[in-house]
Amino acid sequence: MQMYPLRQGVPGFTFSAVLAGIKKKTGLDLGLILSDAPCPAAGVFTRNSVKAAPVLSCTAKLQDGLARAVLVNSGNANACTGEQGLRSADLTCEALAQHLGIDRNHVLPCSTGVIGVPLPHETIIKAVPALISGSSPSKAPAFARSILTTDTRTKTIALRETINGRTVHMLGMAKGSGMIMPDMATMLAFIVTDAKVENKLLASLLREEAELSFNRICVDGDMSTNDTVLLLAGGASGAAVTRASHALDKFRAMLRRVMQELALLIVKDGEGATKLLRIHVSGARTQVDAKMAAMQVARSCLVKTAFFGEDFNWGRIIAAVGQSGAVCTPERISMLFNDIPAVRNGQAVPENRARLVRVMKKKDITLAIDLACGKKACEVLTCDLSYDYVKINADYTT
């Protein structure tokens, strides 16, 4: 498995991005992914009860498991916009479909930005001709920029692997910096591949790998209304991936690496973040317990602010574990910070305090928590909570 330059794209797909004028600030804000033909597609979406219009639209359209295009705008979430929001999403998809001469049900809309503001669909429709004319296999980097909101950098990865004697490409692009708290999916992410995979297997693989990547990250504990991950398999390589094939393991490994890398990049770019924190819980009675404990620590404001302040305060961590609902006995819990013992059988290891204080100054910290109740484990990625997070979100709409 090798990485390759994003600008080389993926055979069978083109990309595009334009400045349509949706954002308050200048910058690319409308992107397009276009497949040469209708192809198997799958998606996972937010489980927030408040779902944006594009999430509802994508969910309905993916019932037949096929897609041809993905139309993404940034600067406006098209969420909490009622029937007009659904109509606006439909109108933009119809405009793109008409210009391309394709089925409008094969156009998947996605939006990100401010909630509760009507989508300027006329602005988007006017930009469609330029979006189409500028489409190219090499425009993936531009597309990656067009989907950003509070992100400070793009999140991308491109891999190639030999499967069944053929070169298979997989390209992933994501945006996400705030409102990151998993429950099926936690941002916008788009993955395209030229492998040949039928839609039911594609959907199954996407759900499974989302649990091991995007469902194990946390920036701030807030779940968006627009979270979407889409996976399209164009099949141009001719490499068939089926449940019974030897190719499945290689393809799954590619997908896992792409999704986990995008998840890691999102946490690294958390709004105002200064530290990457890896929370590893082991010795749990069940897998559910392991994840509950890890997520509770990862989303605890007290824990996150302690790491930002470089304050070695493990009491906040053990309190979060106890709050999580995971079965545990305090007198059996142990903790390590970057492999240095901090807590043993529920008690501090005082002789290591000076070393542990130094660890808190590092930018990448692994916190290992052993519940000593079983054999299940889970790792979650998170970041610290800084002054800048408050500044960014205090004036987000103004």
Claim to verify: residue 164 and residue 191 sit in the same structural domain: yes
Q: What is the pLDDT of residue 396?
A: 57
Q: CATH no. for residue 53?
A: 3.60.70.12
Q: CATH no. for residue 334?
A: 3.10.20.340
Per-residue pLDDT, averaged over 100-116, amounts to 93
Q: Is the pLDDT of residue 266 over 70?
A: yes
Q: Is the pLDDT of residue 51 over 90?
A: no
Per-residue pLDDT, averaged over 291-309, amounts to 93
Q: Give the confidence band of 43 by pLDDT, cuts at 50, 70, 90.
A: very high
Q: How far apart are the first and last CA of the chain?
A: 45
Claim to verify: residue 155 and residue 259 sit in the same structural domain: yes
Instruction: Give the count of domains, the chain.
Output: 2
User: Given 243, 268, 293, which residue is the final one in a domain?
Assistant: 268
The residue ranking higher by pLDDT, 207 or 150, is: 207
Contacts of 119 (CB under 8 A, 6+ apart): 53, 73, 76, 78, 81, 85, 88, 89, 92, 111
User: How buried is 4 (Cβ within 10 angstroms: 0-12 exposed, 13-18 middle, 19+ buried)?
Assistant: middle
Claim to verify: residue 180 and residue 207 sit in the same structural domain: yes
Instruction: Give pTM, 2 decimals.
Output: 0.87
User: Given 233, 268, 303, which residue is the final one in a domain?
Assistant: 268
Per-residue pLDDT, averaged over 59-69, amounts to 95
Domain extent for 142: 2-268
The residue ranking higher by pLDDT, 191 or 211, is: 191
Least confident of 73-82, 212-221, 364-373: 212-221
Q: Is the pLDDT of residue 74 over 70?
A: yes
Q: What is the pLDDT of residue 268?
A: 86
Q: Is the pLDDT of residue 101 over 50?
A: yes
User: Given 268, 289, 305, which residue is the final one in a domain?
Assistant: 268
Q: What is the pLDDT of residue 185?
A: 33
Claim to verify: residue 280 and residue 140 sit in the same structural domain: no
Claim to verify: residue 225 and residue 288 sit in the same structural domain: no
Claim to verify: residue 248 and residue 291 sit in the same structural domain: no
Q: Is the pLDDT of residue 26 over 80?
A: no
Question: Which residues belong to the active site?
Answer: 186
Query: What is the pairing mode between strands 196-197 and 240-241?
Result: parallel
Claim to verify: residue 243 and residue 301 sit in the same structural domain: no
Sheet holding 347-348, edge to edge: 217-218, 376-383, 276-284, 364-370, 334-337, 340-344, 347-348
Contacts of 226 (CB under 8 A, 6+ apart): 46, 52, 54, 55, 77, 78, 79, 110, 111, 112, 188
Average pLDDT score, the chain: 92
Claim to verify: residue 23 and residue 143 sit in the same structural domain: yes
Q: Is the pLDDT of residue 394 over 80?
A: no
Q: What is the pLDDT of residue 389?
A: 80
What is the length of the chain? 398
Q: What is the pLDDT of residue 369?
A: 98
Q: Give the confidence band of 222 by pLDDT, cuts at 50, 70, 90.
A: low
Q: What is the pLDDT of residue 178?
A: 58
Claim to verify: residue 302 and residue 250 sit in the same structural domain: no
What are 314-340's pLDDT values in tens digits? 999 999 999 999 999 999 999 999 999
**Encoded tokens for 289:** 């317990």
What are 140-190's pLDDT values in tens digits? 999 999 999 878 889 999 999 999 999 999 999 999 875 545 443 347 999
